Chain A
Amino acid sequence: MTSLPLVDPSAPEAQPRRISRRATGADAVFVNVSRAVGASVLVITGGVGLFLGWQAFPTLQRYGWRFFTESDWLPEADVLGIAAVLLGTLQIAVVAMVIAFPLALLTALYISEYAPASLRSTLVSLVDLMAAIPSIVYGLWGFFLVMPHAAAFATFLQRHLGWIPVLDVKDTDPDAAIWDASRYTASAFCAGIAVSMMVLPMACAVMRQVFSQTPPGEKEAALALGATRWGMIRTVVLPFGRGGIIGGTMLALGRALGETIAVLLIISPAFDLKVRPLEIGTNSVSALIAGRFGDASASQLSALLAAGFVLFVITLAVNTLAAMVVNRSRSGAGAEA
């Protein structure tokens, strides 16, 4: 039996309930507090960027374009420029990426495609652990363990490939009876090796994550059509992960540009404009800041801040580009590193 609802004719007409999207009570507190937290973080982090730009302004105004073309850093003579340190930063980063990129790609491929399934999660943790190792540790490793071998390898490169200008070392003869090892140490090459170890796990983690998102259906389709494992990787995994490969590499590049302490430990500072990464003496923006901040006067500090600002703008551009590449790639949700 169905009972109909009673209708009371004398009742007032039903009013539609008022729906408000305004938060009330605890919700209002929550929304406003979290908005305040967000605003304060915006002020703090954005403030750093604005402060750097504001402090850099007088220096850039005073020296103009000379700030970017002058290679010497002689505050006493009022000659300041970051051409040499920028070039050194780029050289160290390029050396680091030349070493880190292939190794990161191969390791990511190994972990996602070749490693036994039982080992995979352990290997992923190991790569993450590598990323967590402090940079000073890699600096010690690079300075004490790798540098002698790197110098020997640099000599070998100069002896056999010295006709390439990039691989030349001035004022020394690789075939001399007494090998002058000191000309080959403390170079951008040595610093690049240490930096490469720092950025490699970062690039590897991004690449591996994108590779692991390859649709299994496409991989299985390639295998079902008779592809070997390498054929499957070449035709499915690598094209799918292209965005991750590029993005991960650029994220690593951004980190390599800003690396300080390992570089400071290894290089011997020099302010020459030269493209000979095997030769002793180079400099980077971050090493310049860490080396010169202590005895800096107010105007020098402004110049250092300007150098830091330029470095920040470069890494920001590289990172933004990397994020765009990763996000636009087919793999969609990408890198969180």
Chain B
Amino acid sequence: MTTTPTTSPVRPRGTTVLPSYDDDAPPARPRPSLGRPSADERFVRWGAWASALGLAWLVTQRLLPLPGPAWFLITWFVLGLVVTAVLSALTVSMVEVRDRVAAAVVTGGALVVGAALVSTLSFIVLRGWRPLLHGNFFVDDMAGVGPKDPFDMGGIAHAAVGSMIEIGIALVIVLPLGIGTAIFMTEVGGRFAGLVRTIVEAMTALPSVVAGLFVYTTVIVVAGWPRSGLAAALALAVMMLPIVARAADVVLRVVPGNLREAGLSLGASRWRTVWHVVLPTARPGLATAVILGVARGVGETSPVLLTSGAAAFMVVGPTDGVMNSLPLYIYTTVRSGEPQAITRAFAAATVLLALVLLLFVLARVVARPKRARRTRTTRPRAMKETTS
């Protein structure tokens, strides 16, 4: 079989042209693929970091005066990038070199953030686990307990109870108002709803300390109430209301419009459509919005700092004067400067973290679309509706 010379400008129609092969050409280099890296590539990738590890040891421990693990890690990362670039440049094109370096930088950045998160959580727990071993830490208050007293005296029950009371009152205010506003903005609409949405979105920018100062001025200075759990709850409510309303608004807006139209076309009134179609559809999202709002409110210190005052003893009545809460307890205890007290503060921070984590996991579980649960909860209601 002969190959047709490809240079010939005119070919009769219907002839098949076979490609010509140049025997002197260098062997074809395989294109870098986006799939799984080959063994060769893997070796270059991991070998670069291994050699950078050795180089980093050499540079920081033997050549330059850069003590400490931080410098070692930084040097390792920088050298790793350099070695990756050099090794890749030996085998692949510049485009691929840039790709590999970029991948390393992006992964490195994500690792730094992950390390920061892990260091935050583990640091708090490592410094604060000791008082948690004593049962009285969870059931006692700090009445009559000095900052230097041992851990088998005193506890944070008053702060935890105070936090619960304050966030509970705030929730009683925020839940109907926030979700009601969201329903008004999405389901009723109109020009006035647009105004409300603008204002609510603007007020999400309100710094929490300013919310606290607002309640401090109006409730405590002008109205003359004492500092109390109720004032703190009001401050938290002022802070949380725009956040929850806006998050609920976002959730309600993504409810598909054809569900509403289906409800209305079947003759349901607007109110019934909202109650039986829109709200059940959006329930997981609404729960998430509320729980995340609570998680934000329970950890917020500055509104409480301005309005509640820190009591060292158990206060249950929201209007019975000064009341403590977990973040405020942490802040005031750390400020005392006594090592023993600081350890207590870290223990309280561990409890607060666990609380926030619990709320967060709860929000995730609620938000997860679970088909079995949804049919179980909505079907009886729908059947009751049709039979009644």
Query: Could you list which residues of chain A lie within 8 angstroms of chain B, going by C-beta atoms?
Result: 23, 25-27, 29-31, 33-35, 37-42, 44-46, 48-49, 51-52, 55, 102-107, 109-111, 113-115, 123, 125-126, 128-130, 132-138, 140-141, 143-145, 149, 152, 197, 200, 204, 223, 226, 228-231, 233, 254, 257-261, 264-265, 286, 289-290, 293, 298, 301, 304-305, 308-309, 311-312, 315-316, 318-320, 323, 336
A228:B32 contact, CB within 8 angstroms: yes
User: What are 9 A-B interface contacts by the 8 Å CB criterion?
Assistant: A35-B188, A37-B177, A38-B181, A103-B109, A228-B99, A229-B102, A260-B209, A265-B331, A293-B213
CB distance from A219 to the nearest CB of B (A): 11
Give every chain B residue within 8 A of A257 (Cβ-Cβ): 207
Decide: A51 near B360, CB < 8 A? Known: A103-B113, A230-B103: no
Contact: A132 with B360, CB < 8 Å? yes
Q: Which residues of chain B (314-372) have a CB below 8 Å from chain A?
A: 327, 330-331, 334-335, 342, 345-346, 349, 352-353, 356-357, 359-360, 364
Q: Which residues of B contact A143 (CB under 8 A)?
A: 334
Any chain A CB within 8 A of the CB of B51? Answer: no
Q: A26-B269, A134-B299 are in contact. Are A289 and B213 (CB under 8 A)?
A: yes
Contacts of B345 in A (CB 8 A): 140
**What's the Cα separation between A102 and B272 when bound, in Å?**
49
Q: Check: B123 CB closer than 8 A to any chain A CB.
A: yes
B130 at the interface (CB under 8 A from A): no
Q: Map CB proximity to A onto B170-213 as digits: 1 under 8 Å, 0 otherwise.
A: 00000011101101110110001101100111111111111111
What CA separation (Å) do A309 and B245 show in the bound complex? 22
**Once bound together, how far apart are the Cα atoms of A42 and B178, in whole Å?**
11
Q: Please, which residues of chain A bring their CB within 8 A of the CB of B70?
A: 149
Contact of A29 among B217, B242, B271 (CB under 8 A): B271
A265, B334: Cβ atoms under 8 Å?
yes
Known: A48-B214, A110-B107. 8 other contacts (CB 8 A): A48-B203, A48-B238, A115-B110, A136-B352, A258-B210, A286-B209, A290-B305, A308-B207
Residue of A nearest to B112 (CB): A103
Docked complex Cα distance between A292 and B117 (Å): 32
Question: Are A230 and B102 in contact, CB atoms less than 8 angstroms apart?
Answer: yes
Report if B127 contacts A (CB, 8 A). yes
Contact check, B364 vs A41: say whether CB atoms are below 8 A apart: no
A290 contacts B203, C-beta separation under 8 Å: no
Give the distance in Å from the alpha carbon of A140 to the alpha carbon of B126 in the complex: 13
A97 to chain B, nearest CB (A): 15
Contact B214 A51 (CB under 8 A): yes
Do B271 and A136 touch across chains, with their CB atoms under 8 A apart? no
Bound Cα distance A70, B200 (Å): 33
A41 contacts B241, CB within 8 Å? Answer: yes
A319 to B201 Cα, complex, angstroms:
9
Give 9 nearest A-B pairs by CB, closest first.
A134-B299, A106-B109, A258-B207, A37-B180, A228-B99, A110-B110, A38-B184, A30-B271, A230-B102
Give the nearest-CB partner of A49 in chain B: B203
Residue B120 at the chain A interface, CB threshold 8 Å: yes
Instruction: Please pick, from B184, B203, B302, the residue contacting A260 in the complex, using a CB distance under 8 A.
Output: B302
Collect the chain A residues with CB atoms within 8 Å of residue B82's CB: none
Contact between B180 and A141, CB atoms less than 8 A apart: no
Measured CB to CB, the nearest residue on chain A to B272 is A26
* Chain B residue contacts of A34, Cβ below 8 A: 180, 183-184, 187-188
A141 to chain B: closest residue by CB: B120
Kindly list chain A residues whose C-beta atoms are within 8 Å of the C-beta of B245: 41
Q: Does B42 contact A (CB under 8 A)?
A: no
A196 and chain B: residue at smallest CB distance: B116
With contact pairs A136-B330, A286-B209, A312-B210 given, residues A110 and B271 touching in the complex (Cβ less than 8 Å) = no
Q: How far is the CB of B205 from chain A (nearest CB, A)?
A: 4
Contact A286 B302 (CB under 8 A): yes
How far is B109's CA from A308's CA once the two chains are assembled, in angstroms?
35
With a CB–CB cut-off of 8 A, which chain B residues contact A261?
301-302, 305, 327, 331
- Measured CA separation A140–B352 after assembly (Å): 13
B311 at interface (Cβ–Cβ under 8 A)?
Answer: no
Residues from chain B with a CB closer than 8 A to the CB of A126 are: 114, 117
Is there contact, CB below 8 Å, between B299 and A135?
yes
A231 touching B95 in the complex, CB below 8 Å, given contacts A44-B241, A134-B301, A136-B327: yes
* Complex: A171 Cα to B294 Cα, angstroms: 46
Chain B's closest residue to A149 (CB) is B70
Q: Are A230 and B98 in contact (CB under 8 A)?
A: yes
Residues on B with C-beta less than 8 A from A106 are: 105-106, 108-110, 113
Specify the chain A residue showing the minimal Cβ separation from B121. A133
Q: Is B106's CB under 8 angstroms from A110's CB?
A: yes
Kindly identify which residue among B95, B301, B349 contacts A228, using a CB–CB cutoff of 8 Å: B95
- B374 touches A (CB below 8 Å): no
| Chain A min CB distance to B338 (Å) | 14
What separation, in Å, do the CA atoms of A258 and B108 have in the docked complex? 30
User: A residues within 8 A CB of B221?
Assistant: 298, 301
Determine whether the beta carbon of B301 is less than 8 Å from that of A136: yes
| A323 x B201 contact (CB < 8 A) | yes
Among the listed B114, B116, B192, B356, which residue makes an inter-chain contact with A134, where contact means beta carbons less than 8 Å apart?
Answer: B356
A-side contacts of B83, CB under 8 Å: none
Cβ-based interface call for B34 (8 A): yes
Q: Which residue of A lies closest to B270 (CB)?
A: A27
Q: In the bound complex, do residue B123 and residue A141 qualify as a contact, i.e. CB atoms below 8 Å apart?
A: yes
Decide yes or no: A137 and B109 within 8 Å by CB, A48-B214, A289-B210, A290-B306 being known contacts. no
Question: CA–CA, A309 to B24, complex, Å?
Answer: 78
Residues of A within 8 A of B238 (CB): 44-45, 48
